[in-house]
Each structure stands twice: as structure tokens, then as C-alpha cells.
With several copies, the nearest count.
Chain A
């Protein structure tokens, strides 16, 4: 399934995506680091990446947005706490509430939690250290805007690299997320960062907004990452935008 997703992304998607001109915005905050990588992944999946500047309160007609990884504002105070108030977040929150697909990766996930577009919060890893590692994940919900290229229960390998990657929430919240299928991906071999219930990524009620700590944009080829396990997040979006 992973390989199918990859093939669709690299070949068909490139053609189809180009025809409909799916435009995916990637936000750059001061301190964003994986923005160029997210753009590359969008391009490989067959859509057009559009750079969005934190200080510009305009989404420039994009069809979806990725909030990338990094250390926005140095992650000083709390990861994502200051980025949440950037001008671009105004229209982004409105569009996201109206159903525009949004993917938050790592720091982007933290920003979306701070913005309350996604539930829960991310705190310091249990080991109190930064962890960069290729981790096996299980896709728990393959019905979101960003995971339709996968199958439920599919295993993929994607790198994590974070120090504030421990997902926490109240018992009630966690129960609710599990009961309603809002856990999107889990760590297959136990959470290296201590995330509760091994949660690696979650989504909103409608599955349009997804946040995850692992970096799918760093798993889009064998040359620069541990295989192509992450490409499906981007091809899922492209096929959704094409079908729409």
C-alpha cells in the first residue's frame, strides 16, 4: 500500500495535480525549519507549494495549508505559544474551521494545539532530551484528508525529531479521541517521547485538520529518509483535492 501511494504520488499525482493546480500553502514563521522540506514533499506529491509568510494575513487562495516543523520563535515559552498569534494564523483558523485541510507537523502540531484547532497539548519528552529517530507508526484512521492513501492498521516508518513531543490530555479527552477515531497515527513500538496512549497524531472531528509529531516530509525517498512511508500524507491530500 505504501508503494502504491508512492507511485501515485510520483507519477499520476504529478500529472493530475498539475492539471487541477492544487495549491498547498506552507507557513514560514521566524524559526521554521522544515518549511522547504514540506514544499519539496508537496511538489513530489504533485501539487504546487505556495510559501505563506507569518506576517502576512492572507492565505493567497491556497487549497490546503501545512504548518511545518521547526522552532517557531525559538520555541521559547512553550512550543507554538507565540506563533499562534502571528497574523497569518487569523485567516488560517477561519479557513480551517470552514473545512480547509490543514496538516501540522511537529512544531506545526504544537501550534495547532495552542490555537485549539486540535485537542490536547505537547510537553517535554519523558527522557527530557531531544530525540531524532526513525520510528514505526501504525495508521489508526485512514479516513482523514491526509491519510486516505493508507489503510487502517498499516505500518509505516517515519522519523521523529523533537524535544516537546509528549502528547498529553485528560483521561476524558483521550477516551473521547479513541472512541471517535480521532487518533490518526500511533507509535507502533511504544512512544519514544512518552506520549499518552502512544498517540503520534490526532485530527479534528471532521478529519480535515491533522497534527502529528513524526515528520512525513522526511520520509519521501530512500536517499534522504527511511523510505517513502511518509509520502502518503501528501498524496492523500492531492487525490482529495483532485476528486473535489
Chain B
């Protein structure tokens, strides 16, 4: 059994209301020095050893991410 991580982020040119809301809240909470925040998703998959990285990329592309507005990265842990 292997552990694979998929990080999904909005494409850079797409508006990220979540990230903006967080970035705006930080100074109000007394945290300075944060220029930008982008918010995305983080998935941890436990997969059988015979599941290839290619298969995980396909899962990410069809289910975990919406390729119209999101990019993703896959890495083994």
C-alpha cells in the first residue's frame, strides 16, 4: 500500500475568493508580512502498490480537480 498526495490549486489567472478572504483577514488578526494567499485542496490517497502514478493522475484529472479552472500536482509520500 502506498500513499500518494494530490494538491489541487486554482489556475493562477482564476479569481480565488477564499485566498483573498484569508489574506484580508490576516492583518486584522495582527499577522503582518503575508503578501498573498492562495487556497486549494489537498488529498491523501492510500493506493494498492500496483496503482501507477499515471492512474492517480487520471483520478486527479477526472475527479479531484476541475481542469477547466484548476491545476494539480501528484507526488508519492
The answer on a CB contact under 8 Å between A114 and B25 is no
Report B41 CB to chain A, min CB distance, Å: 8
CA distance A3 to B17 in the complex (A): 38
Per the bound structure, the CA–CA distance linking A81 and B21 in Å amounts to: 11
Q: Tell whether B64 is near chain A: CB-to-CB under 8 Å.
A: yes
Query: Would B68 and A77 count as touching, CB distance under 8 A?
Result: no
Contact with B25, one of A73, A120, A170 (Cβ below 8 angstroms): A73
Task: List the A residue with the shortest CB-CB distance to B29.
Answer: A85
Alpha-carbon separation in the docked complex, A78 to B66 (Å): 9
A contact residues around B16 at 8 Å (CB): 123
Chain A count of residues within 8 A CB distance of the other chain: 27
Q: Contacts A76-B18, A170-B14, A196-B15 known; A82 to B25 CB distance under 8 Å?
A: yes
Interface size class of B (residues with CB under 8 A): 10 to 19
Q: How far is the CA of A128 from the CA of B21 in the complex (A)?
A: 8
Residue pair B17, A77 in contact (C-beta under 8 Å): no
Q: Are B15 and A168 in contact (CB under 8 A)?
A: yes
Name the one of B13, B18, B63, B64 contacting A124, with C-beta atoms under 8 angstroms: B18
* Chain B 1-37 interface mask (CB, 8 Å, partner A; 1/0): 0000000001001111110111001001100000000
B47 within 8 A of A: no
Q: Are B28 and A121 in contact (CB under 8 A)?
A: no
Q: Is the CB of B13 within 8 A of A77?
A: no
CB-nearest residue of chain A to B19: A76
Q: Does B39 contact A (CB under 8 A)?
A: yes
What A residues does B29 contact at CB under 8 A?
A: 85
CA gap between A161 and B64 in the complex, in Å: 25
Among A85, A169, A170, contact of B28 (Cβ-Cβ < 8 Å): A85
- With A77-B39, A113-B68, A114-B66 known as contacts, the answer to whether A82 contacts B21 (CB < 8 A) is yes
Provide the bound-state CA to CA distance between A81 and B63, in Å: 7
Proximity string of chain A (81-93) to chain B, C-beta cutoff 8 Å, 1 when within and 0 when not: 1100100000000
Complex contact A73–B15 (CB within 8 A):
no
The residues of A that contact B17 with a CB separation of less than 8 Å are: 74, 76, 123-126, 128, 166, 194
Write out, one digit per residue, whether chain A residues 61-82 have a CB within 8 A of any chain B CB (1) or not (0): 0000000000001101110011
Instruction: Please state if B25 and A85 are interface contacts (CB–CB under 8 Å).
Output: yes
CB-based contact B21/A123 at 8 Å: no
Residues of A near B39 (CB, < 8 A) are: 76-77
Tell me which residues across on chain A come within 8 A of B13, comparing CB atoms.
Answer: 170-171
A60 on the B face (CB < 8 A): no
List, in ascending order, chain A residues with CB within 8 A of B44's CB.
Answer: none
- Supposing A73-B25, A85-B29, A123-B10 touch, asked if A128 and B18 sit within 8 A by C-beta, the answer is yes
Whether A77 and B15, one on each chain, are in contact in the complex, defined by CB atoms closer than 8 angstroms, is no
Partner of A166, one of B15, B25, B28, B64: B15
Contacts of B25 in A (CB 8 A): 73, 82, 85
B66 touches A121 (CB 8 A): yes
- Contact string against A for B residues 66-77, beta-carbon threshold 8 Å, 1 for contact and 0 otherwise: 101100000000
Chain B nearest CB, measured from A125 CB (Å): 7
Instruction: Report the 4 A-B pairs with minimum CB-CB distance, sorted nearest first.
Output: A76-B21, A76-B18, A126-B17, A121-B69
